[in-house]
Chain A
């Protein structure tokens, strides 16, 4: 079966760094997405990785290892507005997005 695993909840301090991990097992792989979702709102696109390595985009970076079925989202210089759920999603061989349950990130002052 297809499975996406990520931690349910994480807590971090404002100004610090946090890494949110995602492991996956899917039928085929056409890339991995990270989305941010604030409560009651639709997800917004953060990053896409299809090749191994690190993609950096401002305070956010995303890493992928296809051989390990593993990705992480790295958030630097945390701000209170970064409190949200972070969703990992894999595009399978049918170009469908398979979603993880999301990681709720709580930022404390």
Chain B
């Protein structure tokens, strides 16, 4: 089945620094990838839709200058949290869909636990 690899699994960074999270589709090409954020005991919240070769589409309330998304190839999307603050601490998850597999191909990465101190 479709596999999405996400790195790092967890990261601790100092307030004011930037953190990059990578999301790779390992055995399929993904023209679209999705970035979610999940706070404890809350639902997944879509942050942005990453489109290969074009600008990402951000959800309302998500600062595009703070959460930089780059989707330079059909297998890689990156999310950079710039000037991170403690309130950015959360679980970030990417997902992509292998359209050749139908709905079963909607796959998530393993997630990144970000802690900003």
A binds B: yes
Chain A residues whose C-beta falls within 8 Å of the C-beta of B109 in the assembled complex: 42
B100 to chain A, nearest CB (A): 15
B111/A42 in contact, CB under 8 A:
yes
**Cα distance A97–B97 when bound, in Å?**
12
> Is A33 on the interface with B (CB-CB < 8 A)?
yes
Chain A residues whose C-beta falls within 8 Å of the C-beta of B108 in the assembled complex: 42-44
How many residues of A sit at the interface, in one of the four size bands? 10 to 19
Contact of B44 among A43, A44, A45, A48 (CB under 8 A): A43
How many residues of B sit at the interface, in one of the four size bands? 10 to 19
B42/A101 in contact, CB under 8 A:
yes
Chain B residues whose C-beta falls within 8 Å of the C-beta of A31 in the assembled complex: 103
Question: What are 28 A-B contacts defined by CB distance under 8 Å?
Answer: A31-B103, A33-B106, A40-B111, A41-B110, A41-B111, A42-B93, A42-B108, A42-B109, A42-B110, A42-B111, A43-B44, A43-B93, A45-B104, A45-B106, A45-B107, A48-B103, A87-B43, A87-B44, A96-B46, A96-B49, A97-B34, A97-B46, A99-B43, A99-B44, A99-B45, A100-B43, A101-B42, A102-B43
